[in-house]
């Protein structure tokens, strides 16, 4: 039975990856310090003998006893509110964390896939974004901690590939959604659905003409699976190229939920990307991958998952408390 370590296992993407690899007959070792992850995403796996969980911070040290065939490094805060509140922890997991994971991969002779992001392109001047585009990032802006952590992570991974001959894979993930997203993490999709379910007006930043492309989580997981088992060591975009403005998206959510709320407009945050759409030519050619789930279908599933949340979760207003994770 192949054995895989998944960091960030209690998060949105990490937990879905745990499910997929267990279904595929893998032994899964999950690791998470729970700074943004939630054990409720994994509780259905705890009875399974193929799954073990380690409550650890990969930025400090990573040790897994026994053999390992694969590592997926998915540990990182991923919403703007998170990485504005814990900027140093965000930088550390993309630098110290990846260094520790690469060292473990080298020691175990394991193949490692790292979760990079479309944020490496910053506020792009090229549209749609291909893997050859170097990006337009403000390294000292408020979002720079996340963007540069991921860019450094890619550089460190390629250094281990070229210098040590390590088997590495790099995925650049575009906006992804689905069940298990944190309702109040500040990202646009859970924010809109949460506001609609609570009967609040939907908040759009700027004029709402900035664009995003949303990929359903099952499609993304399939892309990760294919990339991990490919022979391609360079970055690959995985996302849905079906582009929509944020204002149009808000209107879609109101239609989906059948609510009567207004759309209210607020100032655009600093360095917020004006456009985002993946060029997935490489994923199609190398992996035979493209998204299958339409936005309408994926939103219905996600809406039902959010609708089933307990009221105390739905109406919880405060963001995650990071006090215990911050060194004074």
Q: What is the C-alpha to C-alpha distance for residues 233 and 288, in angstroms, rounded to an integer?
A: 16
* Number of domains forming the structure of the chain: 1
pLDDT of residue 259: 82
List, in sequence order, the alpha helices (H) in the chain: 12-23, 80-85, 87-108, 144-164, 188-198, 217-228, 246-257, 281-282, 295-307, 311-314
* 295 Cβ contact list (under 8 Å, min separation 6): 214, 216, 240, 242, 244, 252
38, part of any domain: yes
pLDDT of residue 310: 86
Q: Answer with the residue of higher pLDDT: 223 or 78.
A: 223
69, part of any domain: yes
Assess whether pLDDT exceeds 90 at residue 213.
yes
36, part of any domain: yes
Q: How confident is the model at residue 136 (pLDDT cuts 50, 70, 90)?
A: very high
Q: What is the pLDDT of residues 16-72, one digit of tens each?
A: 999 999 999 999 999 999 999 999 999 999 999 999 999 999 999 999 999 999 999
304, part of any domain: no
DSSP 177-241: E-TT--TTSS-HHHHHHHHHHHTPPEEEETTS--EEE-EEHHHHHHHHHHHHTSS--SEEEES--
Question: Looking at residue 45, which CATH number applies to its domain?
Answer: 3.40.50.720
Which residue in 26, 70, 121, 146 is the catalytic one?
146
Check if 146 is active-site: yes
> If we measure between CA atoms, which residue out of 48, 299, 291, 82 comes closest to residue 179?
299
43, part of any domain: yes
pTM greater than 0.75: yes
Q: How confident is the model at residue 270 (pLDDT cuts 50, 70, 90)?
A: confident
Percentage of the chain surpassing pLDDT 90?
80
Phi and psi torsions of 30, nearest 5°: -95, 140
Give the range among 8-12, 193-197, 316-320 with minimum mean pLDDT. Answer: 316-320
Assess whether pLDDT exceeds 80 at residue 327.
no
Sheet of 3-7: strands edge to edge? 51-55, 27-32, 3-7, 70-73, 111-117, 168-173, 235-238
298, part of any domain: no
Q: How confident is the model at residue 318 (pLDDT cuts 50, 70, 90)?
A: low
Averaged pLDDT score across all residues of the chain? 93
* Mean pLDDT to the nearest integer, 156-164: 98
pLDDT of residue 319: 61
* Mean pLDDT to the nearest integer, 299-318: 86
* Mean pLDDT to the nearest integer, 69-92: 93
Domain that holds residue 29: 3-178+216-241+278-292
Q: What is the C-alpha to C-alpha distance for residues 8 and 47, in angstroms, rounded to an integer?
A: 19
pLDDT of residue 187: 87
* Mean pLDDT to the nearest integer, 273-285: 94
28, part of any domain: yes
158, part of any domain: yes
- Classify residue 30 by burial, with Cβ atoms within 10 Å: 0-12, 13-18, 19+: buried
């Amino acid at each position: 039975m192949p054995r895989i370590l998944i960091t960030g296992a209690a998060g949105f993407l990490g937990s879905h990856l745990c499910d997929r690899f267990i279904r595929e007959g893998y032994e899964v070792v999950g690791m998470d310090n729970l700074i943004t992850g939630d054990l409720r995403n994994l509780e259905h796996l705890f009875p399974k003998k193929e799954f073990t969980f380690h409550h650890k911070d990969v930025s400090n040290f990573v040790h897994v006893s026994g053999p390992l065939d694969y590592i997926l490094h998915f540990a990182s805060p991923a919403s703007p509110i998170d990485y504005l509140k814990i900027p140093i922890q965000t930088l550390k997991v993309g630098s110290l964390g990846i260094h520790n994971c690469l060292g473990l991969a080298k020691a175990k002779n394991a193949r490692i896939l790292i979760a990079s992001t479309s944020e490496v392109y910053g506020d792009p001047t090229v549209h749609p974004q291909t893997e050859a585009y170097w990006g337009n990032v403000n390294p000292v802006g408020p979002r720079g901690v996340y963007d540069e952590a991921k860019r450094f992570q890619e550089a460190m991974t390629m250094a281990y590939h070229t210098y040590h001959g390590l088997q590495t894979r790099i995925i650049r993930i575009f906006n992804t959604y689905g069940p298990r997203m944190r309702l109040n993490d500040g990202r646009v999709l859970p924010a809109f659905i949460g506001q609609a379910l609570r009967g609040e007006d939907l908040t759009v930043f700027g004029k709402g003409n900035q664009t995003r492309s949303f990929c359903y989580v099952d499609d993304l997981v399939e892309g990760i699976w294919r990339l991990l088992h490919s022979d391609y060591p360079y970055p690959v975009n995985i996302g849905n190229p079906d582009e929509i403005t944020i204002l149009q998206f808000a209107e879609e959510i109101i239609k989906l939920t059948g609510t009567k709320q207004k759309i209210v407009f607020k100032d655009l945050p600093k360095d917020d990307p004006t456009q985002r759409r993946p060029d997935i030519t490489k994923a199609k050619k190398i992996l035979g991958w493209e998204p299958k789930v339409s936005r309408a279908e994926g939103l219905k599933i996600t809406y039902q998952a959010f609708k089933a949340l307990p009221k105390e979760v739905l109406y919880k207003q405060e963001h995650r408390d990071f006090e215990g994770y911050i060194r004074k």
